[in-house]
Structure 1
Amino acid sequence: MSCEHLICARCSNPVVDGRCPTCRAARSELHRHGVSVPPALVLAALVALLFAALVLQGVYG
Structure 2
Amino acid sequence: MTYDRLVCANCAAPVAEGRCAVCRANRERLKEEGPLGGLTPAMLLTLLIALVAAVALLAALQTA
Instruction: Return the TM-score normalized by structure 2.
Output: 0.50
Q: For residues 7 and 33 of structure 2, what CA distance do their matches in structure 1 show? A: 22
Q: Which runs of 4+ in 1 moved over 3 A?
A: none
Alignment of 1:22-61 (within 5 A): 22-32=22-32, 34=34
Report percent identity of matched pairs.
47
The code of the aligned residue for 2:9 comes to A
Aligned to 1:51: none
> What is the deviation of 1:33?
5.2
Larger Rg: 1
> Structure 2 regions of 5+ residues with no counterpart?
35-64
How many equivalent pairs are there? 34
Aligned to 1:58: none
Higher normalized contact order (CA 8 Å, seq sep 6+, divided by chain length): 2
Q: For residues 33 and 9 of structure 2, what CA distance do their matches in structure 1 show? A: 24
Aligned to 2:12: 12
Q: Which has the higher helix share?
A: 2
